[in-house]
Amino acid sequence: MSTPDTTRTRPDDGARMEALARWLDDRLRLAEGSRVYLRKAFPAHWSFLFGEVALFSLVVLLFTGTFLALFYVPDTRLVAYDGPYAPLQGREISAAFDSVMRLSFEVRAGLLMRQIHHWAALVFVVAIVVHMLRVFFTGSFRRPRELNWVIGVALLLLAFGAGFTGYSLPDDLLSGTGLRIGYSALLSAPFVGPLMGFIALGGEFPGTDVLGRLHIMHVMLIPAGLVGLVGLHLAILVRQKHTQKPSPKATNDNVVGEPLFPNQAMVSLSLFLFTIAVLSLVGGLFEINPVWLYGPYEPFQVFAPAQPDWYMGWLEGLLRLWPAWEFTILGVTIPSVFIPAVLVPGGIFTTVFAWPWIDRRWITKDDGEHHLSQRPRDVPVRTGIGVGGVTLLLVIFVAGANDVIASDLAIGLQATTNVLRVLVFVLPVMFGWMAYRLARWLKGDNTSPSGADDPGIGGAAAQAPTEAGSSSS
Amino acid sequence: MLPLVLALAGSAQLLLAGPVTAQADASRGATIFGTNCALCHGEGGRGGPDGPSLIGVGAASVDFMLRTGRMPLESPDAPMERRAQQVNDADRDALVAYIASLGDGPEIPDVSGLAGADLAHGLELFTSNCAACHGPTAAGVAVGQQDVSSTLDVAEPIEIAEAIRTGPGVMPLFGGEVLSDDDIEAITAWVLDLRDREAPGGLSIGRSGPVTEGFVAWIVAFGLLTIVMYLLGDKATDEESDDG
Amino acid sequence: MADERGRPSSAGMSISGQQAEWQARAERAGRGARWAAISLLAAIGSGIGLLILYVQGGQTQLEGILIFMAFGSVALALGLWVRLVIGPDEVIEPRHRMASTEQQRGAFSAVYEDAVDEVVDGGRRRVLLRLLGAAAATLGLAVAFPLRSLGPGPAAELFRTAWRPGSRLVDQDGNPIRLADVAIDQAVTVFPEDAPRSADSQAFLIGTRPDAIVLDELKEPTAQGTVCYSKICTHAGCPVGLYRAQAGELLCPCHQSTFDVNRGAAVKSGPAGRPLPQLPITVDDEGFLVALGDFNEPVGPSFWNMTRDVADE
């Protein structure tokens, strides 16, 4: 017996929705699972939204990128420019550069899409980095989330790769210079370097295959990796449930949060639309990568200042700061770029990948299961190391722009470099130490600096419970 | 009748002025030089401990230095940088004539043909010869030691042409065999086009490339988004705050 | 005060206190709904504006602003709706240990081991398994073949450029260069006549100051002091494009290696590990500059076996 339903203003809509739901459920048995998920608890602190901004930036990238890919031509063959930008009229440029010029000057909304795409790429990496810092300083990478940490760092590397391959596609003078440096870094590896460089490019630099290969990396292989790993990252997150800040209500044995529907879904949808909005705003208002001013790539031309996109700045700084150490032992030359371009970044990323285990072994010394986030002050040692590490990266970043700084601040170029060489040692130690002391002071000195008073579930020797669904520790 | 005759006579005199005026200029220039410049640059422009020889530097070099206010310097240690012109036009021309008379050097280039110059050729030449030091947008860059290449935002066409021919300071010079007069006009025309042309992408934020773009991404874009996140998400309330 | 669902709770409040709470909540919700409605109207307006703009030809800055307003307004409306109209809510769920129970693990092991037993057939198929492993390893190696096909081996490519004895020096437009055309303080990018604009052969021809050049420190012949060096930086391969005439220095813009033009392009500062290779040049009968041979060292960034002698390969 149905009662008159006064909440529906359009009865047809409701009936249609129900019919659709029945149709799907008839085939997929969705009712029970959906019921459970509709009211899933989502810890909703605002700092948990950084990862979502990264995800939404990725969606914008995929959408705008598809549009760009429908115009871009990955070909190094020369054509004569015949478009409306007068200073390039008649100039012999690669078909790739020409396609980007056409997109920027002759396709309606083409320049907007290009700029949104590039700004989204920059913001994508910003969001990943800030998200990573949040996870790091709150200890949210601890068991059981080590796997997601590793996947996350892999995503960061893929984001670097997507950005580097992407901004090299227009074949302009700035990005071509960066490609040359990347190739030289490959070349520098002992024994296999020249072979790797020639395999990557299909011959000696610059060759004719490079744009096609970068293109496939950028539109097929890396996006597949990104989407796949993001999917895995989210699936693990759903399975393990999000961490939460501790409170009288929130413990290691529960999840306290906003329900998925309607609250969290609306928050996420709103954030998604805001991300599109902000990226479109900067995409329209701020010029980015004006390749028509740089001109097409010629291997015998270069200009200053020559910087890569921001997230490669640390590599650039390493190369500028590193001394001119090059030596030959028993006929094997170790080029001066090898250590700063290959070994040091390798070391940094190995440390970052391995951090959950480093943290467990030497800092917190517990391998219990943790679902409560910590405050930076709770683990002063980790916070000190983290702040020191971030400071080190910041100094190296600044070094990557040493010529821009030297000219803006009217200081000598070599002097700037030498000062930075000193700061690279002094500042991380200084700020790391200060952060450590501050954290200890905030925490109260009589507690452990390594956060060992929060052993989590399952303590030192992780023991499996003997009862299914045990909800008390 | 009389005004007409005088006008004709005056015009005739100007037309026939030529070497007579140049001579007058040069001797006036010698006087000015002796009073103001010889202290550093030596008698007859021979050079001294505080200033290089000016014999053979050519009219273009002197004209450039005076027009851009780089010369005269208050003291030999003062940095050479762009200022308002320190001498008046007549004195400048006189000095130029005087130094030019001391020896052969690059003459003042002709930039009257800018309107018909080939922009595409200018961009190509600028990228090959100039962008390495001046930047692709002529914004000025650190070029080693304390030196910074000029931004070309406010340079007059004649100054650009003169600088190319004479290579002031640490700048190399580009002689007639490397860059013809037409080439110089093309480069100058492109620099002016760069200034006048509206940036199609929007605000050009200093045109220093990826460095400033990175700042905008962090501060403007991510800053806005952070405000949004803060408003949308939960804040830790008193209930939830924990001192442990 | 908040109840366990995070909603304002009336526990422990007076009646008038409760009423005030509910009133405040209702007011907030009403306000939120009003502003959300206005935002949605703004979104519709911006959307229509965007359509009109697009049809009329579009303009990058206005497109960006209108998309911002359209999406931003909807986003704002949703945000107001969820935060003010609906208000905060709370659910609490239990969390289970991530690890499976011992029973579950045991049950899995039992099934798995049974299956493995069937494959191994009580240990009788060990040889088969080993052979399978070896076959898999071999096939795995074969995956490397497509990778190897992506490019040729370097052979002697890195040791040689297109410069030959007698190659005339030409500029980037292919014009040969006379010694007399090279003024002091001038720097020109040059290539071999047979390979104009060739990437690895690029060189910088420099009119040095006669009182500054130290010929004894140069490894190769010059043309009366006019010297020619490889333009490819020996650090990471960028063209060393900045010539600091007064100081006689070549500066690479990428990582600021500085080379002394008057002393065989020796490294003065910066991260480059070796000087720029020098091209031996001379003047022919007609006054044109010609090369006497290839550079004295491999050009570009160093690589592991560059000290190998490839004279006659």
Q: Write out pLDDT tens, residues A113-162.
A: 999 999 999 999 999 999 999 999 999 999 999 999 999 999 999 999 99
Please, which residues 228-247 of chain C have a Cβ atom closer than 8 Å to chain A? 231, 235-239, 241-242
Q: What is the mean pLDDT of residues A238-249?
A: 92
Candidates B201, B214, B232; nearest CB to A271:
B232
Name A80's bridge partners: A92
Distance, CA of A390 to CA of A319 (rounded, Å): 18
Please, which residues 99-118 of chain A have a Cβ atom closer than 8 Å to chain B? 104-105, 111, 115
Query: CA of C70: which chain A residue's CA is closest?
Result: A277
Mark yes or no for CB contact A246/B127 under 8 Å.
Answer: no
Please report residues of A whose CB lies closer than 8 A to that of C254.
Answer: 177, 181, 302, 306, 319
Eight-state DSSP code of residue A63 = H
Query: CA of C89: which chain B residue's CA is closest?
Result: B234
Query: Which of the two residues, A63 and A412, has the higher pLDDT score?
Result: A63
Q: Domains (ranges, CATH) in chain A?
A: 40-249+256-303 (1.20.810.10)
Asked if A145 and A239 count as a contact pair (C-beta separation under 8 A), the reply is no
Distance, CA of A352 to CA of A358 (rounded, Å): 9
Question: Per-residue pLDDT tens for A196-213?
Answer: 999 999 999 998 999 999
Where residue A398 falls among pLDDT bands split at 50, 70, 90?
Answer: very high
**Confidence (pLDDT) at B158:** 93
CB-based contact, A329 to chain C, within 8 Å: no
Asked if A284 and A368 count as a contact pair (C-beta separation under 8 A), the reply is no
Query: CA of A317: which chain C residue's CA is closest?
Result: C255
Q: What ipTM score was computed for the predicted complex, to two decimals?
A: 0.91
**Confidence (pLDDT) at A7:** 56
CB-based contact, C199 to chain A, within 8 Å: yes
Query: CA of B239: which chain A residue's CA is closest?
Result: A247
Q: Is B150 within a domain? A: yes
Query: Which of the two residues, B39 and A194, has the higher pLDDT score?
Result: A194
CB-based contact, A208 to chain C, within 8 Å: no
Collapse the DSSP code of A255 into the 3-class scheme (helix H, G, I; strand E, B; otherwise coil) and give the result: strand
Distance, CA of A219 to CA of A213 (rounded, Å): 10
**Confidence (pLDDT) at B42:** 87
Which architecture, in CATH terms, is C160-313? 3-layer Sandwich (2.102)
Distance, CA of C60 to CA of C198 (rounded, Å): 39
Asked if A198 and C151 count as a contact pair (C-beta separation under 8 A), the reply is yes
For B138, left (φ over 0), alpha (ψ -120 to 50), or beta?
A: left
Type of residue numbered B134: H
- For chain B, the C-alpha Rg in angstroms (whole number) is 26
Q: What is the mean pLDDT of residues A331-354?
A: 96
Collapse the DSSP code of C283 into the 3-class scheme (helix H, G, I; strand E, B; otherwise coil) and give the result: strand
Query: Which of the two residues, B111 and A426, has the higher pLDDT score?
Result: A426
Collapse the DSSP code of A344 into the 3-class scheme (helix H, G, I; strand E, B; otherwise coil) and give the result: helix
Mark yes or no for CB contact A285/C82 under 8 Å.
Answer: no
Candidates A44, A88, A404; nearest CB to B208:
A404
Tell me whether residue B157 is exposed, middle or buried, using C-beta atoms within 10 angstroms of its C-beta: 0 to 12, 13 to 18, 19 or more. Answer: middle
Q: How many CB atoms lie within 10 A of CB B81?
A: 12
Candidates B148, B190, B221; nearest CB to A407:
B148
**Confidence (pLDDT) at A458:** 62
**Confidence (pLDDT) at A464:** 45
**Confidence (pLDDT) at A140:** 96
The encoded tokens of residue A207 equal 């060759």
CB-based contact, A288 to chain B, within 8 Å: yes
Query: Which of the two residues, A444 and B200, has the higher pLDDT score?
Result: B200
Where residue B238 falls among pLDDT bands split at 50, 70, 90?
Answer: very low
Question: Per-residue pLDDT tens for A269-289?
Answer: 999 999 999 999 999 999 999
Q: Is B202 within a domain? A: no
Distance, CA of A416 to CA of A407 (rounded, Å): 10
Strands of A41-42's sheet in order across = A41-42, A254-259, C91-94
Q: Same structural domain for residues B51 and B91? A: yes
Please report residues of A whose CB lies closer than 8 A to that of C154.
Answer: 194-195, 197-198, 204
Percent of chain A past pLDDT 90, that is, above it, reads 82
Residues 6+ apart with CB under 8 A from B110: B181, B185
Q: What is the mean pLDDT of residues B77-96?
A: 88
Q: Is B72 within a domain? A: yes
Q: Same structural domain for residues B21 and B98? A: yes
Point out the domain boundary residue: B82, B102, B122. B102
Give yes or no for residue C104 having a pLDDT over 50: yes
Name A259's bridge partners: A41
Domain map (residue ranges) of chain C: 15-86, 102-137, 160-313
Distance, CA of B118 to CA of B190 (rounded, Å): 8
Q: Same structural domain for residues B67 and B139? A: no
Q: Which of A462-471, C10-19, C277-286 has the lowest mean pLDDT?
A: A462-471
CB-based contact, C89 to chain A, within 8 Å: yes
Q: What is the mean pLDDT of residues C97-124?
A: 90
Give yes or no for residue A74 having a pLDDT over 80: yes
Q: Which of A237-251, A405-419, B98-112, C53-67 has the lowest mean pLDDT?
A: A405-419
A267 CA to centre of own chain: 22
Give yes or no for residue A345 having a pLDDT over 80: yes
Residues 6+ apart with CB under 8 A from C56: none
Question: Per-residue pLDDT tens for A290-303?
Answer: 999 999 999 999 99
Tell me whether residue A163 is exposed, middle or buried, using C-beta atoms within 10 angstroms of its C-beta: 0 to 12, 13 to 18, 19 or more. Answer: buried
Point out the domain boundary residue: B102, B123, B144. B102
**Confidence (pLDDT) at A462:** 40
Q: Is B201 within a domain? A: no
Give yes or no for residue B239 having a pLDDT over 50: no
Name A334's bridge partners: A327
Q: Same structural domain for residues B120 and B93? A: no
Longest dimension (CA), chain A: 93
Q: Is B129 within a domain? A: yes
What Cα–Cα distance (Å) separates residue B218 from each residue in A50, A397, C85?
A: 13, 14, 32
Phi/psi at A48 (5° precision): -85, 0
Where residue A428 falls among pLDDT bands split at 50, 70, 90?
Answer: very high
The encoded tokens of residue C205 equal 């021809």
Query: CA of B220: which chain A residue's CA is closest?
Result: A282
Mark yes or no for CB contact C78/A269 under 8 Å.
Answer: yes
Where residue A470 falls among pLDDT bands split at 50, 70, 90?
Answer: very low
Question: Per-residue pLDDT tens for A221-239?
Answer: 999 999 999 999 999 999 9
**Confidence (pLDDT) at C12:** 61
Asked if B42 and B48 count as a contact pair (C-beta separation under 8 A), the reply is yes
Helices A222-240, A146-168: inter-axial angle, 10-degree rounding: 160
Count how many pairs of residues, chain A against chain C, have C-beta atoms within 8 Å.
Answer: 299
Q: How far is B79 from chain C (nearest CA, A)?
A: 15
CB-based contact, A305 to chain C, within 8 Å: yes
**Confidence (pLDDT) at B105:** 86
Q: What is the mean pLDDT of residues B6-35?
A: 69
**Confidence (pLDDT) at C13:** 66
Query: Which of the two residues, C59 and A405, has the higher pLDDT score?
Result: C59
Give yes or no for residue C186 having a pLDDT over 80: yes
Eight-state DSSP code of residue C168 = B
**Confidence (pLDDT) at A243:** 95
Where residue A215 falls among pLDDT bands split at 50, 70, 90?
Answer: very high
Q: Which pTM was predicted? A: 0.91
**Confidence (pLDDT) at C170:** 96
Least Cα distance to C8 among C24, C31, C32, C30 occurs for C24
Where residue C3 falls among pLDDT bands split at 50, 70, 90?
Answer: low
**Confidence (pLDDT) at A370:** 94
Mark yes or no for CB contact A240/C71 under 8 Å.
Answer: no
**Confidence (pLDDT) at B51:** 85
Point out the domain boundary residue: B196, B219, B239. B196
**Confidence (pLDDT) at A452:** 52
Q: How far is A397 from chain B (nearest CA, A)?
A: 10
The encoded tokens of residue C27 equal 């007011």
Where residue B15 falls among pLDDT bands split at 50, 70, 90?
Answer: low
Q: Same structural domain for residues B62 and B140? A: no
Q: Same structural domain for residues B27 and B76? A: yes
**Confidence (pLDDT) at A466:** 44
**Confidence (pLDDT) at C21:** 86
Give yes or no for residue A179 having a pLDDT over 90: yes
Q: How many CB atoms lie within 10 A of CB A189?
A: 20
Collapse the DSSP code of C73 into the 3-class scheme (helix H, G, I; strand E, B; otherwise coil) and give the result: helix
Bond into C239 cis (ω within 30): no
**Confidence (pLDDT) at B232:** 93
Distance, CA of C151 to CA of A197 (rounded, Å): 9
Please report residues of B whose CB lies closer than 8 A to that of C64.
Answer: 202
Type of residue numbered A129: V
Question: Per-residue pLDDT tens for C44-77?
Answer: 999 999 999 999 999 999 999 999 999 999 999 9
Tell me whether residue B88 is exposed, middle or buried, using C-beta atoms within 10 angstroms of its C-beta: 0 to 12, 13 to 18, 19 or more. Answer: exposed
Give yes or no for residue B242 having a pLDDT over 50: no
Where residue A469 falls among pLDDT bands split at 50, 70, 90?
Answer: very low
SS3 content of chain A, % helix, strand, coil (to 5): 65, 5, 30
Eight-state DSSP code of residue A41 = E
Please report residues of B whose CB lies closer than 8 A to that of C183.
Answer: 173, 175, 177
Least Cα distance to C242 among C93, C233, A51 occurs for C233
Candidates A45, A50, A282; nearest CB to B220:
A282
Distance, CA of A364 to CA of A142 (rounded, Å): 10
Q: In total, how many domains does chain B have?
A: 2
**Confidence (pLDDT) at A10:** 62
Query: Which of the two residues, A348 and A403, has the higher pLDDT score?
Result: A348
Asked if C95 and A252 count as a contact pair (C-beta separation under 8 A), the reply is yes
A66 CA to centre of own chain: 20
Please, which residues 161-200 of chain A have a Cβ atom closer than 8 Å to chain C? 177, 180-181, 183-185, 187-191, 193-195, 197-200
Distance, CA of C295 to CA of C278 (rounded, Å): 5
Distance, CA of A182 to CA of A176 (rounded, Å): 10
Q: Which domain holds residue B119?
A: 114-196
**Confidence (pLDDT) at A6:** 52
Where residue C227 falls among pLDDT bands split at 50, 70, 90?
Answer: very high
DSSP string, B38-91: HHHH-GGG--BTTB---TT-HHHHHHHHHHTT--S-SSTTS-----S-SS-HHH
Please, which residues 90-129 of chain C have a Cβ atom closer than 8 Å to chain A? 90-105
Eight-state DSSP code of residue B107 = P
DSSP string, C199-247: TTT-EEEE---TTT--GGG-SS--BTTBEEEESB-TTT--B--EEETTT
Q: Same structural domain for residues B135 and B177? A: yes
| Residue B188: CATH number of its domain | 1.10.760.10
Query: CA of A413: which chain C residue's CA is closest?
Result: C256
Distance, CA of A406 to CA of A398 (rounded, Å): 11
